[in-house]
Amino acid sequence: MTAAEVVERLRQRGSAKLVGIYQRRGAADEALGISYKDIDALAKTLGTDHDLALALWTTEIHEARLLAARIADPNAMTDPQINHWVSEAQDYLVSDAVSEFAAQMPNAGDLAESWIPSLQELTAASGWNVIAHLAMAKTLDAGDAEKLIAEIQGQIHHAPNRTRHSMNGALIAIGGTMPDLADAALAAAKAIGKVTVDHGKTGCKTPDAAPYMARMIARAAAKA
């Protein structure tokens, strides 16, 4: 299937109601109003297709870019390609999808390290998102994670809006999945206090890190 055929298929399934929802959440590209369920189903049908993913990205269509992040090949993606995607992601819905994909790349940690210092809000947020995904996958280096806890504690309240949200998520992921760092992460969360994030005209919220981590740790202990 070509990119044009995929886009036509997406257009046939569009919903004006979902277009409005995506726009309220900040979608910057043209939105067609396709549910995540339908995007995921189409991704399963297409399978991994890196060339198609690259072509879909160039359409500058919201759902096509979400789909691209689902069917791209993490082993075929080059640094220039993923850096281009990150730089072109103009809303958190797309940047979150790109960072979730980037976390699957062999050099995900290096990518996160290069994105976190960025002055671009969503690029820095993508770096922290990758850290969260690596922590959840239990592939984040403990020494690196310990340093990141201190960085989050020292900088989160000075970071841009969406970056704060992603830093908070990274802290939760580290504390909730890395037992040796749980105490340090909880202490940092308590020192940080409430993290305020403007989610616009949505019902989304940024969770309080300490109680969220505590629940994750309790669930892990119960399973053990």
Please report the pLDDT score of residue 40 as a whole number. 97
**pLDDT tens per residue across span 122-167:** 999 999 999 999 999 999 999 999 999 999 999 999 999 999 999 9
Please report the pLDDT score of residue 200 as a whole number. 87
Q: Which residues contact 84 (CB under 8 A, 6 or more apart)?
A: none
Q: Considering only CA atoms, which of 93, 94, 87 is closest in space to residue 114?
A: 87
Please report the pLDDT score of residue 156 as a whole number. 98
| Ramachandran region, residue 173 (left: φ > 0; alpha: ψ -120 to 50; beta: rest) | alpha
Instruction: Map tokens 């671009």 to a residue.
Output: 120
Please report the pLDDT score of residue 202 as a whole number. 86
Please report the pLDDT score of residue 170 as a whole number. 98
Going 25 to 112 to 173 to 161, the CA torsion angle's sign is negative
Percent of the chain topping pLDDT 70? 100
Question: Residue ranges of the chain with pLDDT lower than 70?
Answer: none
